[in-house]
Amino acid sequence: MVYCYETSDGVVVERMFPMGKAPQRIRTADGAEAVRSFAAEGASVPATKGWPMTCYASGVNAEQAGALRKELADMGVPTQVTSDGDPVYRDARHRRKALKARGIVDRNSFL
């Protein structure tokens, strides 16, 4: 099974262990200590694949990009917004918070 570990710098690494045999802490290839990350394991998309994600479906008109950027920052979810008006989500948790802040429900995301 694949297990996720996160360093103090926020870098997520994946390791394979037999089910139930994963340690709570590991050393990465560069010697940094990483702690098992249940949040990364529970993400609907593997933590190291697919992120960051530019979301066209929750985007706005290009002229409203600045307003969306400010709105999300004011709601406590600072988010990069492209010049075309599309938000760029860093990870599944960030996406979930940003969509919730805007009152958007994604019925297919299992969030």
| Chain segment 27-77, per-residue pLDDT in tens | 998 899 999 998 888 765 555 577 899 999 999 999 999 999 999 999 999
> Is residue 35 included in any domain, yes or no?
yes
> Is residue 109 included in any domain, yes or no?
no
Question: Do 59 and 92 fall within a single domain?
Answer: yes
E-only strand ranges, the chain: 2-7, 12-16, 25-27, 33-36, 53-54, 80-81, 87-89
| Chain segment 81-94, per-residue pLDDT in tens | 999 999 999 988 89
Question: Do 38 and 66 fall within a single domain?
Answer: no
Q: Is this structure's pTM higher than 0.75?
A: no
- The residue range of the domain holding 17 is 2-42
> Is residue 107 included in any domain, yes or no?
no
Total count of domains within the chain? 2
Question: Do 32 and 67 fall within a single domain?
Answer: no
Question: Do 57 and 38 fall within a single domain?
Answer: no
